[in-house]
Amino acid sequence: MPRTVTVGVDGSPESLTAADWAAREAELWGRPVRLVHAGPWQPFAAAGEGHGGGPEVEAARRRWAQRVLRETTERLTAGRPGLRVTFEQVRETPVSALLDAASHGCPLVLGSRVVGGPDGREDVWLLGPVTLAVVAGASGPVVLARSPAVPELAGSTGVPGPSWDGAPSPHVVLGVDPRRPATGAVAFAFGEAARRHARLEAVHAWRRPPGADPARDRELEREAGQALREVLAPWRARHPTVRVTVRTGFGAAASRLVDAAADASLLVVGRGGAPGRIGGVTRTVLRHCGTSVAVVPG
């Protein structure tokens, strides 16, 4: 199988955002896009084909999914004559199909749904069971794409055009702990910054140890900055065109990363946690960061 940028598609506005992001990424990588629809992601009523079960309903569901895949393909190729797009409807469950798709090296892209926060001021991004299982178990990078909502395709009468204008991205943010660097995330972040001709901002934050003398804060911050630069040095040598800035400081790591990524094009973090699990910092970032987030294992 040729290496592709794969996106999970179910006809929802969030999956169309993911498809747009995947098309942009595929152009940067010089790879085709693969659209995958697996299992009954959408309530069948959304297809407008009736209710119940049996062969007729299953056939109608397949027709609806094929229409979504075709319309999404038209959406992505409009204005992108060189972009190759393939699509596939599989009988596997969404988690199994997406985990398989995430094992081929290039990113797997999924949509994200946002809801208002409890105080009405901060948005919270929902992490459904499929998303959590895929992020926790994927052997390759998984991107949770975020952007303003777009119209649904299922049942629509027109195909909206691509939402990206091809402009260079401002910068990429990388969350990294020099004591336990996630080398997969570092490599992915440098590659993304190089492809986008973007600046890379490496961020490390930590909480002050109990009993630590605040008078040593500057010294500790200098030491942390030096440790971070040493971790990044081999990757800077491999990507000499990437301009790198380093930010260190005290505070909650997730909050620091969300703030740093507020005006970035992408936030890259390691998955953290035990095998098959998502670390606490990464899980918090996925819930509260309004920028697209790439979670990279290893």
Output the CA angle 196-190-83, nearest 5 degrees. 40
Beta bridge partners of residue 116, listed in sequence order:
123
Asked if 15 and 141 sit in the same domain, the reply is: yes
Asked if 83 and 222 sit in the same domain, the reply is: no
Q: Poorest-confidence range of 41-50, 55-64, 81-90, 283-292? A: 41-50
Euclidean distance between CA atoms 96 and 226, whole angstroms = 42
- The pLDDT-based confidence of 40 (bands split at 50, 70, 90) is low
What is the SS3 assignment for 113? strand
Euclidean distance between CA atoms 115 and 149, whole angstroms = 12
The answer to whether residue 268 scores a pLDDT higher than 80 is yes
The CATH code of the domain that includes 217 is: 3.40.50.12370
What tokens were used for 88? Answer: 């596939």
- What total number of domains does the chain contain? 2
The answer to whether residue 270 scores a pLDDT higher than 80 is yes
Contact yes or no for 97/103 (Cβ under 8 A): no
CA atoms within 13 A on the CB side of 26: 28
Residue 96 belongs to what H/E stretch?
helix 94-101
Asked if 213 and 155 sit in the same domain, the reply is: no
The answer to whether residue 44 scores a pLDDT higher than 70 is no
Q: Is 52 left (phi over 0), alpha (psi -120 to 50) or beta?
A: left
Asked if 255 and 151 sit in the same domain, the reply is: no
- The pLDDT-based confidence of 58 (bands split at 50, 70, 90) is confident
Euclidean distance between CA atoms 123 and 102, whole angstroms = 28
pLDDT in tens, 70-123: 999 999 999 898 999 999 988 888 899 899 888 766 789 999 888 765 554 566
Question: What pLDDT is stored for residue 219 in this prediction?
Answer: 86
> In which domain, by residue range, is 17 found?
1-163
Asked if 34 and 49 sit in the same domain, the reply is: yes
